[in-house]
Structure 1
């Protein structure tokens, strides 16, 4: 009986340790994303999908995809109409060009600023980073992903690709989502952030 009790405690302890380890791998950002998707007042999911929703599929957090980028501001850039998945257009401008390295390879992306959002206090310093990469259509959403940023004080900015997320139209066609410009294509696989949504 004593040996059985000892064995039970060992198995229980290992089980708890494994559960705890798994929880430690889930980031605060991932937890918030899942909570928002479960919340009917915030979720982009259709009601039928939300009712059976158990969590988004994320790539495992990888510090390789947390990069310090050099920001070259483009203050004289003109406003243009960024196409969306509907007839709506989003008035945007290139706020700057970011340059960074992933595994020794150098990349550049345009980072955008929305004219409409600039009028709102909460988004006055908001920047929009949409991008395409070689995971699109395979493990990630075919139309690319987005990252939310804030205007930095200096000429460097931290880009965490682990926080890249799908456009809302990946979950529900009623949304109007900006289409990622072709110049924001990364010729590499960015295995970070949210994966493709499987209904």
Structure 2
């Protein structure tokens, strides 16, 4: 009888734990991966008090209108420079080129960069950094702008998916040092795609 009682107690405990463990939120793999990272104490940029109540980042609805085809023009003669950040840190970047695309019947050209330290790491040899500003900043999105991760294409055409735009870590925690988006990388429309401004989700 005692063994049966212990069995049901154990079953109740396992069931309760599984019910408390909520699935990772997200409409796409990108969103689920980002939410998973933010829930992981070893990777999350969130402050401990914010991570405790974290349920998931808020995203705009995925919209194919913000997946654009861009033309890349490389600028091989650029010199490395120290990019300004939200702290005294000055990481070295180099402008790799310019991408030109159409969005909402307007043409925009943005600079893309390479992090000179990151490009030496395995898996990041072809990584491009695209920081950008748009008209949602300070309202629906983080005031300091957002980032996109890109890869060097084989030719001069690449796909830019603004649904994968994410916030700098300093949008969540001031202890981080984040590159400041250059004013030249301003897109003069509302890019209602990607991550929204951060608010702690509470039950």
- TM-score tier, shorter chain, comes to 0.7 to 0.9
In the TM superposition, residue 84 of structure 1 has moved relative to its aligned partner by: 0.3
In the TM superposition, residue 33 of structure 1 has moved relative to its aligned partner by: 0.9
The ranges of structure 1 where at least 4 consecutive aligned residues each deviate by more than 2 angstroms after the TM superposition are: none
1:19-168 alignment runs, 5 A limit: 26-168=27-169
Higher helix share: 1
Task: Give the whole-Å Cα distance in 1 for the aligned partners of 2:64 and 2:123.
Answer: 29
Task: Give the whole-Å Cα distance in 1 for the aligned partners of 2:157 and 2:42.
Answer: 35
Task: Deviation per CA, 1:129-165: give whole Å up to 9, x if none.
Answer: 0000000000000000000011111001110000000
Runs of at least 5 residues in structure 2 that lack an aligned partner in the other structure = 1-23
In the TM superposition, residue 103 of structure 1 has moved relative to its aligned partner by: 2.2
Task: Give the whole-Å Cα distance in 2 for the aligned partners of 1:150 and 1:42.
Answer: 23
In the TM superposition, residue 118 of structure 1 has moved relative to its aligned partner by: 1.6
Task: Give the whole-Å Cα distance in 1 for the aligned partners of 2:154 and 2:122.
Answer: 18
* TM score, norm. by length of structure 1: 0.86
Task: Give the whole-Å Cα distance in 1 for the aligned partners of 2:41 and 2:75.
Answer: 39
Provide the secondary structure at the position in 1 that maps to 2:118.
helix
Provide the secondary structure at the position in 1 that maps to 2:33.
helix
Task: Give the whole-Å Cα distance in 2 for the aligned partners of 1:90 and 1:126.
Answer: 16
Task: Give the whole-Å Cα distance in 2 for the aligned partners of 1:41 and 1:195.
Answer: 23
Runs of at least 5 residues in structure 1 that lack an aligned partner in the other structure = 1-22
Task: Give the whole-Å Cα distance in 1 for the aligned partners of 2:96 and 2:158.
Answer: 13
Task: Give the whole-Å Cα distance in 1 for the aligned partners of 2:138 and 2:125.
Answer: 33
How big is the alpha-carbon RMSD for the aligned residues of Structure 1 and Structure 2? 1.4
Task: Deviation per CA, 1:46-100: give whole Å up to 9, x if none.
Answer: 1110010001010000100000100000111111111000000121111010000
